[in-house]
Amino acid sequence: MLVYAIKCDYIKNNPNSKIDKPKRARTNIQFYTPDEVEKLISALMQEPIKYQAIIMLALDLDYRRGELTGLTWKDIDFEIRKVEINKTTQYAYGKIYEKGTKTEHSERVNYISDTTLQILKKYQKEQLR
């Protein structure tokens, strides 16, 4: 806005040009250790299949929550273990909305482990009953 004001001769210089941009705070991202992942998977096998499916996908793919909940069966290729992200979901005003990905680069393809594939097949079979 201030650059535009200079172009239009409303002001002579931009007062913000002398201000340093604040440095972005670095976040300390924590990851599960291999031991913790093993414990999680062990405990998970006692839970309903739908929870096994979503958590195993999260562990395998490292997708955002909206990307995981936006997945449909047609986004998963069971033959080559491929999962394609092409949409997300968002919860707002008491409703779930489906929308496109955040950016063009957010659309991507990843591959899942055999364990996750077997869980997804089992879950899909259960849903079709």
pLDDT tens-digit series, residues 91-104 = 889 998 888 877 77
Residue 110 phi, psi (nearest 5): -135, 170
Spacing of C-alpha 84 from chain mean position: 12
Q: How many Å apart are CA 116 and CA 69, to the nearest integer? A: 16
pLDDT tens-digit series, residues 109-126 = 899 999 999 999 999 999
| pLDDT for residue 78 | 95
| pLDDT for residue 20 | 85
pLDDT tens-digit series, residues 33-70 = 999 999 999 999 999 999 999 999 999 988 888 899 99
CB atoms within 10 A of CB 44: 16
